[in-house]
Amino acid sequence: MKKLVTAAVLATVSLASPAQEAAPYLSAPVRIIVPFQAGGLTDILARSIAQHASQRLGQQFIVENKPGASGNIGADFVAKSKPDGYTLLMGSIGTNAVNVHLFSRMPYDTLKDFAPIGLVASGTLMLVANPAVPVTDMKSLLAYARAHPGKLTYASGGAGASQHLAGELLKTMAKVDIRHIPYKGVAQGVTDVVAGQVDMTFDLATVAPHIRAGKLRPIAVANGKRSAAFPGVPTIAEAGVPGYEASAWYGLFAPAGTPPAVISKLNAEMVSALADPALRQRLDALGAEPSGSSPEELARFVRSEYDKWGRVVQEAGIRLDQ
């Protein structure tokens, strides 16, 4: 009889344990890791989605900035986190497509260590200059750069960031020598361009207020089409470098192995946030085009960007160490 009771107790415990371990998803706060400093579009997008999801789901979505190594520190933190949906990455073209081609050693596998959730947005890159720089448009900028090789400088959010790639592509296609000045985040770089310590940068989200205030001069748009926020500014391709096109993009990722049901739920919340008219209006003003793709679409897009920018990096001969 005693053996039967003991067996029954053990059976009850064994049946209860899985239920105790398998707590329902969103029973704890979710962290969205931004691998750059606060203030840039990556950070703005993460905080917008976090706020929306927190309000809808009744659970905290917290944004944490973990900058460093061109985004690799924050991305690696997520890649090595438990795949339970509680640690996410607001990734970028750099962290999830380009850095692998730039650095001889990477702490994570770009294509294997993440589960795509969805493409959040693509961002406009506008080439802007401090008004003290003696250029007013793309034609005069190219002429000045060719007459003064190595004199013009441009800031980026870090080696491998979209601003860096845009500058390297311009150097290659326009055959000009301009110097790259990397920062730990695009906002810090923009601050130094406004202050006149660096001549130029590529961005829109962080530079738009400075353009409107007359503190920065718009030169040309790096994307393939003009910005709705500044329709009078031509593209670089229109203004003197045919075929030129560079843009930024931002996607939400989880660690590889995260359950499909969790990925699906997170994707639905991302899509819901990006459908909000107030958020879309805000992103439009910042030069960001909301996307809201499926996980499968983001996976295909990452692969295509991985291949495209790998060729650019190889042709430009860019190689970095960290």
Phi, psi of 194 (to 5 degrees): -60, -35
Both 112 and 165 in one domain: the answer is no
The pLDDT confidence band at residue 15, using thresholds 50, 70 and 90, is very low
Domain total for the chain? 2
Given this model, what pLDDT does residue 284 score?
83
Q: What is the CATH number of the domain that holds 212?
A: 3.40.190.10
Q: Among residues of the chain, what percentage have pLDDT more than 70?
A: 93
Closest CA to 251 of 83, 101, 65, 123: 123
Encode burial over 16-40: b for 16+ CB neighbours within 10 A, e otherwise. eeeeeeeeebbeeebbbbbbbbebb
Contact in structure between 128 and 220 (CB atoms under 8 Å): no
Is residue 161 included in any domain, yes or no?
yes
Q: What is the CATH number of the domain that holds 284?
A: 3.40.190.150
Both 212 and 162 in one domain: the answer is yes
Given this model, what pLDDT does residue 312 score?
81
Is residue 37 included in any domain, yes or no?
yes
**Residue 72 pLDDT greater than 50, yes or no:** yes
Q: Among residues of the chain, what percentage have pLDDT more than 90?
A: 72
- Which range marks the domain in which residue 137 is found? 126-221
Given this model, what pLDDT does residue 70 score?
85
Is residue 22 included in any domain, yes or no?
no
Both 264 and 281 in one domain: the answer is yes
Closest CA to 304 of 158, 30, 93: 93
The pLDDT confidence band at residue 143, using thresholds 50, 70 and 90, is very high
| Residue at which a domain ends, from 221, 239, 259 | 221
**pLDDT tens by residue, 221-259:** 999 999 988 999 999 999 999 999 998 899 999 999 999
pTM: 0.79
Measured distance CA(176)–CA(167) in Å, rounded:
10
Contact in structure between 195 and 183 (CB atoms under 8 Å): no
Q: SS in 3 state form for 146-178?
A: HHCCCCCEEEECCCCCHHHHHHHHHHHHHCCCC
Residues in the chain: 322
**Residue 17 pLDDT greater than 80, yes or no:** no
Query: Roughly what angle, to the nearest 10 degrees, separates helices 260-274 and 277-285?
Result: 70
